[in-house]
Amino acid sequence: MSMTFCNVHFTQQPQKIVYVSGALMKSLKLSGKKSVKLRLGGERIPALVKPINKQGNHLYLASGVRKGIKVPMSGGVFLRNLDAGEVQIGPLIGILSDGTSSLINPFGSRTGFIKQLLREGSNQSYIFAFTPRDIDWQDESVNGYFLTETDRFTRKRVPLPDVVYNRLPSRRAETSTSINQLRERFIRKKIPFFNWSFFNKSDIYRLLENDPLAAQHIPESHMNPTPEQIKDMLDRHSFVYYKPSAGSLGKGIYRLSYVPKRGYYARYRNTKGNVLQRFATFSSLIKTLQTRHGRTLRSYVVQQGIRLIEIDACPLDFRFHMHKNGKNQWVVVGIGAKKAGKGSVTTHLKNGGSLLTPQQALSRVFGARGEEVLNNAKKTAITIAEAIEARDQHLIGEIGFDFGIDKDENIWMFEANAKPGRSIFRHPSLRAEGKASVEHILEHCLYLSKFRRREGV
């Protein structure tokens, strides 16, 4: 199987004909052939081959062919020479997300990121975004959002894509029957789909329990603990985190501690700000939590609290943004150091946290050893990403880890995000990493759709 980059042009003839330049005839091994089967995504069409005299790799599609397999636009794409005399144009990459139906801002706050993917990706692929409602399973086609040269969205109907990058925004929607069906349909059609869904914290902790290399980096955790278990954890650890397994943005998180003779303390954030509440007895603490959250406490996790390294008396943790590259290997693409706001239980920027580069943060804490600590953390990130991938049955191409580091240089994983936010890339020193992140997503799409260029080509 070989791969060629070529320029696709459209012609007006209604016939099913393709005009192929000399060089392209050669690299597609079409010399002497009268016809070829062209494929885009899930659609195929037979076409007559006519050689033309032109320098370089050029393919002219008559409108009979273009409409038959729904080629969305002219321009540079790859051609894959498949075994059965078939030539595949592509890749056709689909980004699955959701939002409003407006053409200006169809994916809400994700629109900017999606535009960035489409902008970078359209130099080497047919790339579009779509929502679950845009798929016509009967017709096996998608009414996708493509980007025009003037950076606007335009709708085009294309075949089912060669690969799907899942950025569905809602955890709740993702567990619905219709989204489950949608994913199963893509899998049945052998269309790679990554990432499968949001992670739950407790699922990830459980997944890694039996992986000795990864498990040493997970603080002791218990899902849906009884009050006795929480009490036991408080007896053994100087403080614990009590957090919703499917939570995000620090919502609903408590930092609980016990101070002998004084009582129990809960630190959390409510609508007004950071709160520190004291309880004379353990049972009054539990009662308050139960009153505030009721049955939702069943999906909480209690976790050993890690004493994080600090700057200016504010705890620090780290976001490690991981991608799979075009060779299917895990790479640490961007790292942000997050400093907690004063009195905040978490380091989220929304809660007054601030962002530093890891070098800035670690050199302030560990001096000259900072670099070594960072390298160790990078190795750990790759080990844990590999462990999650090996134990999860679905395709994973991206993970955002929340890591803590203690003063003994131990690395701890608090959370793995399957659809990590991109706020760290807004830091002026992390812009290049943000671009690299986009490039890695596209490279991995090329890999999964088998459209990655071979080494040295």
Ligand X SMILES: Nc1ncnc2c1ncn2[C@@H]1O[C@H](COP(=O)(O)OP(=O)(O)O)[C@@H](O)[C@H]1O
CB of 441 to ligand X, least distance (A): 22
DSSP state for residue 132 in the 8-state scheme: G
Piece of the chain touching ligand X by CB under 6 A; list 29-37, 41-49, 298-306, 378-386 = 298-306
Whose structure tokens read 């144009």? 89
Q: CA 75 → CA 7, 26, 57, 444, distances in Å?
A: 5, 20, 11, 21
DSSP 425-448: GGSGGGHHHHHHHHHHHHHHHHHH
Q: Which of 143, 248, 257, 274 binds ligand X (CB under 6 A)?
A: 248
If one asks whether residue 341 binds ligand X (CB under 6 A), the answer comes out as: no
- Of 7 and 304, the one with the shorter C-beta distance to ligand X is 304
Using the rule CB under 6 A, is 22 a contact of ligand X? no
Name which position in 208, 302, 306, 396 contacts ligand X (CB under 6 A): 306
243 interacts with ligand X by CB under 6 A: yes
Residue 219 found at the interface with ligand X (CB under 6 A)? yes
Stretch that binds ligand X, among 31-39, 158-166, 261-269, 301-309 (CB under 6 A): 301-309
Nearer to ligand X, 141 or 346 (CB): 346
The answer, yes or no, to whether the previous bond of 195 is cis (omega within 30 of 0) is yes
In angstroms, the CA 444 to CA 101 distance is 28
CA atoms within 13 A on the CB side of 161: 31
Q: Which does 303 bind (CB under 5 to 8 A by kind): ligand X, Mg ion, none?
A: ligand X
Taking CB within 5 to 8 Å according to partner kind, which of Mg ion, ligand X, none is near residue 243?
A: ligand X
Is residue 253 a contact point for ligand X (CB under 6 A)? yes
Least gap, CB of 190 to ligand X (angstroms): 33
Inter-residue contact 264 to 256 (CB < 8 Å): yes
Question: Is residue 399 at the binding interface for ligand X, with CB under 6 A as the rule?
Answer: no
According to the binding rule CB under 6 A, does residue 200 interact with ligand X? Answer: no
DSSP conformation letters of 174-221: HTSHHHHHHHHHHHHTT--EE--SPPPHHHHHHHHTT-HHHHTTSPPE
Structure tokens at 324: 């799979």
Report the phi/psi class of residue 277: left, alpha or beta, with left for phi > 0 and alpha for psi in -120 to 50.
Answer: beta
Closer of 201 and 444 to ligand X (Cβ): 201
Radius of gyration of the CA atoms of the chain, in A: 26
Query: Between β-strands 310-311 and 300-304, what pairing exists: parallel, antiparallel or unpaired?
Result: unpaired
Residue 235: CB atoms within 10 A of its CB come to 8
Residue 270: cis peptide before it, omega within 30 degrees of 0? no
Residue 176 DSSP symbol = S
Nearer of residues 402 and 433 to Mg ion, judged by Cβ: 402
Q: Which residues pair with 318 in a beta bridge?
A: 337, 403
Query: Which bin fits 56, alpha (ψ -120 to 50), beta or left (φ > 0)?
Result: left
Which partner from the list ligand X, Mg ion, none does 373 bind, CB cut-off 5 to 8 Å by kind? none
Q: How far apart are CA 247 and CA 117, in angstroms?
A: 27
- 52: tokens are 């033309």
Shortest reach from residue 21's CB to ligand X, in Å: 53
Candidates 251, 428, 437; CA nearest to 348 is 251
Q: With the C-alpha atoms ordered 270, 414, 402, 416, is the resulting torsion angle positive or negative?
A: negative
Task: Identify which of residues 160 and 355 has a Cβ nearer to ligand X in the complex.
Answer: 355
Region of 102-110, 179-187, 244-252, 259-267 interacting with ligand X (CB under 6 A): 244-252
Mapped onto helix, strand or coil, the DSSP state of residue 380 is helix
Looking at the Cβ atoms of 238 and 328, the one nearer to ligand X is 238
> Quick check: 401 binds ligand X (CB under 6 A)?
no
Q: Which of 174, 398, 402, 433 binds ligand X (CB under 6 A)?
A: 402
Q: Which of 57, 88, 131, 347 binds ligand X (CB under 6 A)?
A: 347
Q: Is 225 in the site for ligand X (CB under 6 A)?
A: no
Could you say which residues in the range 41-60 bind ligand X, by CB under 6 A? none
**419 is an interface residue for ligand X by CB under 6 A:** no
Contacts to Mg ion by CB under 5 A: 402, 415
Q: Is residue 434 a contact point for ligand X (CB under 6 A)?
A: no
Nearest approach, Cβ of 220 to ligand X (angstroms)? 9
Measured at the alpha carbon of residue 355, what is the angle toward residues 363 and 109, in degrees to the nearest 5?
155
415 makes contact with ligand X (CB under 6 A): yes
Stretch that binds ligand X, among 112-120, 125-133, 189-197, 240-248 (CB under 6 A): 240-248
Using CB under 6 A, list all residues that contact ligand X: 219, 241, 243, 247-250, 253, 303-306, 308, 317, 346-347, 402, 404, 414-415
